[in-house]
Amino acid sequence: LPDLMEERLSLAHSMGVQSNDVFTLLSKVGHDCTGGISFTESREPPNIGWKYREISASELNELVTQRKSFLPCF
Structure confidence by residue, pLDDT tens digits, 16-59:
888 778 888 877 776 666 666 666 667 776 666 767 788 999 99
Rg (CA), the chain: 15
DSSP single-letter state for residue 72: T
User: Is the confidence at residue 12, as pLDDT, over 60?
Assistant: yes
* 24 DSSP assignment: H
